[in-house]
Structure 1
């Protein structure tokens, strides 16, 4: 028995090492989460300069995950990227629509969302971001500017009627004001895209929340935010799959001591 426990330790440690080495590039990989693009339908494989980014996407021109043509499509009422329109309940107010354009630019163009990227099994993408801490003012202004616009759903990720080729309100739904479907800023920012965002208590410039709006002349503040959360993950997270092995190691050690 004296030799059994050391041999068991070596075996389990070998399994741990194998699991550690087999980990894919996913959230939890620490600093590898900086300056990355999602594996999704219209994203570039690596961020790079795009001098001709269009309109509201220009803040990302120095280091972008989107192409110039993608940025142009994001500004159209019905984009060929996804055949999706925000005007499903009539013409959306311009003050509201600009937030959705900015949201799309952030999604398609930002290289600073690595700490929140998750794997998904969807036909049009293999990765998405989840629970990105959106700065308080950005979420509140989005909600304030869209309160009087109209929609028919509180989750825009799924459940649409696509028979016409573009998204339409499903049978049984009614077009009502945003405030009806999203009674609070958190309800809008967190519910709209299946928790892609979460309302942060931090404000712009804190270095702890992602800004949807920023002045590129002052630099990209989201680089600091991504660095902070990547470092936090690197310092505190175990690669996936190691916890059961470490638990087994601890239990076998207890049994050996009792024996």
Structure 2
């Protein structure tokens, strides 16, 4: 029923053409806790986030905080089961940089309600099922397999009584390789399926990369354009504002947003 109403709205609204829908998910920032309203050049971004300095959804200060073990961004502690090895931590920093800074995640932006991780108090947006390149997941797992954690899903279930995340009572710290038995398990489960393990490699141009050579430019813009074109299912669509407003006027389908 919801899908049928959605189709009616998109057809009935004169400006809601295929091109409008495609353009609406390209070069955009999420409505999330620390994102800018619109992407743009930052001049200088800190450390690993510098890959996005030419066109970023994050500020320089956000990029600096992304590198701290205990930052104001989410008060999240990487070292909840002992000190996380630097070779492992760099992947989580890079993951944070992609999430905060990338303007190329539009095809996978999903609406979330109030109280969702990383969203504004009244709700906002997250990413869901971003196809992460095989090599990026494999290297992430390889560099983290000897590190320790007590949870499979890092988005929820922590003990926050101290102001930062601690392992819930009764949980045990185990090696990543036991909690996440494969690269796919790590990439897909650690952030509630924000990522999807892609069988495709970086050279395919059909998966999002965490890492690239800055001299060659950002390859993820072309990947987002490919999925936004409808060449493959990108996940839930980011609707033009008129269509979203139309949905909000329909009580029967408000609950699906």
The normalised TM-score by structure 1 is 0.81
Write out aligned runs for 1:212-227 (5 A).
212-227=210-225
The counterpart of 1:73, out of the listed 52, 65, 69, is 65
Query: Which of 118, 135, 138 is residue 136 of structure 2 equivalent to?
Result: 138
| Match in the other structure for 2:88 | 96
Spell out, residue by residue over 1:201-251, the C-alpha distance to the aligned partner (whole angstroms, 9 max, x if none): 11112110000001111011001100000111799999789xxxxxxxxxx
**1:31 Cα deviation after fit:** 2.3
Shift in Å, 1:16: 3.0
Structure 1 unaligned residues grouped into runs of 5+: 1-14, 242-259
Structure 1 CA distance, aligned partners of 2:174 and 2:188? Answer: 19
Secondary structure of 1:122's counterpart equals coil
Question: Cα distance 1:96–1:18, how it changes in 2: closer, same or farther (>3 A)?
Answer: closer
1:128-175 CA distances to partner (integer Å, 9 max, x unpaired)? 010000000000000000000000000000000000000000001001
TM-fit CA distance, 1:21? 2.6
Residue matched to 1:185: 183
Within the candidate set 139, 148, 151, 2:149 is matched to: 151
User: Can you give the 5+ residue segments of structure 2 that lack an aligned partner in the other structure?
Assistant: 1-6, 245-257
Query: Which is greater in Rg?
Result: 1
Q: TM-score, normalised by structure 2?
A: 0.82
Structure-2 residue corresponding to 1:5: none
1:193–1:18: structure 2 CA closer, same or farther, 3 Å change rule? Answer: closer
Superposed, which structure 2 residues align to 1:105-254 within 5 Å? Answer: 105-123=97-115, 124-125=119-120, 126-232=124-230
Which of 30, 33, 42 is 1:38 aligned to?
30
| Distance (whole Å) between structure 1 residues aligned to residue 93 and residue 110 of structure 2 | 23
SS at match of 2:83: coil
For 1:23 and 1:160, locate their aligned partners in 2 and report how far apart those are by CA, in whole Å.
44
Q: What corresponds to 2:252 in structure 1?
A: none
SS of 1:119's equivalent in the other structure is strand
Equivalent residue pairs, number: 226
**In 2, distance between residues paired with 1:151 and 1:103?**
17
